[in-house]
């Protein structure tokens, strides 16, 4: 749990990990959403892995990523992990399926669903990542499946995101991803 049930204060570990994240407005929106869902942050012991554990309501973050990965990666992985939070909250079957599985055994259907939910969450929070940018951050086999799921249900998802910095209270010259190199295949298919 992110907050103490009586005092309402955030857990010290959560606060410490949260301070490691960039002070970017979009990352902070995603973290605020995480906290609104009463999900805490912890440090992952699985090298290179970000993992959400529904029984503990904790997102385990691979700490080195916070200082080595581009902002676009952090936004997409946070969105994906929040997709898991929403899925596990709304689909008890997913929780039952994964209860006794190692993270490497989680079915692709559950991973795909979290990526799809993550994309819609970015749209809901008005974070300027369009479908093409989002899919570039996901490994190819999973990106194809996610793209298919999104476009089959909502063909308009392919429209580019029109980012107007002034809507976010930023100067018109600011862009979320323009200054950040986007690796061709930086996103994990199985975070």
Q: Is the pLDDT of residue 120 over 80?
A: yes
Selected residue with higher pLDDT from 163 and 30: 30
Render pLDDT for 87-118 as a digit per residue (tens, 0 to 9). 999 999 999 999 999 999 999 999 999 999 99
Say if residues 27 and 71 touch (Cβ distance below 8 Å): yes
Cα 100 from chain centroid (whole Å):
23
Percent of the chain with pLDDT over 90: 68
The pLDDT of residue 186 is above 60: no
User: Measured between alpha carbons, how far is 107 from 98 in angstroms, rounded to an integer?
Assistant: 8
Per-residue pLDDT band for 178 (boundaries 50, 70, 90) equals very low
Tokens of 38: 């009463």
Edge-to-edge strands, sheet with 58-61: 40-43, 58-61, 51-53
Q: Could you give the dihedral angle defined by the CA atoms of residues 82, 83, 88 and 93, in that order, rounded to the nearest 10 degrees?
A: -170
Boundaries of every domain in the chain = 12-160
Q: How far apart are CA 81 and CA 104, in angstroms?
A: 15
Tokens of 56: 């503990």
CB 117 within 8 A of CB 83: yes
pLDDT tens digits, residue range 32-50?
999 999 999 999 999 999 9
């Amino acid at each position: 749990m992110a907050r103490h049930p009586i005092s309402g204060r955030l857990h010290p570990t959560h606060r410490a990990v949260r301070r490691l994240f960039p002070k970017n407005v979009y990352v902070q929106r995603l973290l605020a959403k995480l906290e609104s869902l009463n999900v805490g942050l912890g440090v992952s012991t699985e090298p290179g892995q970000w993992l959400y554990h529904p029984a503990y309501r904790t997102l385990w973050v691979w700490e080195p990523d916070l200082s080595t990965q581009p902002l676009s990666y952090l936004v997409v992985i946070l969105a994906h992990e929040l997709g898991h939070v929403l899925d596990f909250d709304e689909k008890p079957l997913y929780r039952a399926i994964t209860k006794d599985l190692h993270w490497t055994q989680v079915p692709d259907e559950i991973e795909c669903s979290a990526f799809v939910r993550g994309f819609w969450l970015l749209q809901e929070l008005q974070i300027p990542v369009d479908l093409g940018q989002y899919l570039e951050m996901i490994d190819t086999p999973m990106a194809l499946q996610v793209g298919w799921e999104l476009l089959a249900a909502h063909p308009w998802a392919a429209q580019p995101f029109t980012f107007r910095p002034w809507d976010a209270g930023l100067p018109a010259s600011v862009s979320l991803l323009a200054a950040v190199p986007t690796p061709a295949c930086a996103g994990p298919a199985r975070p």
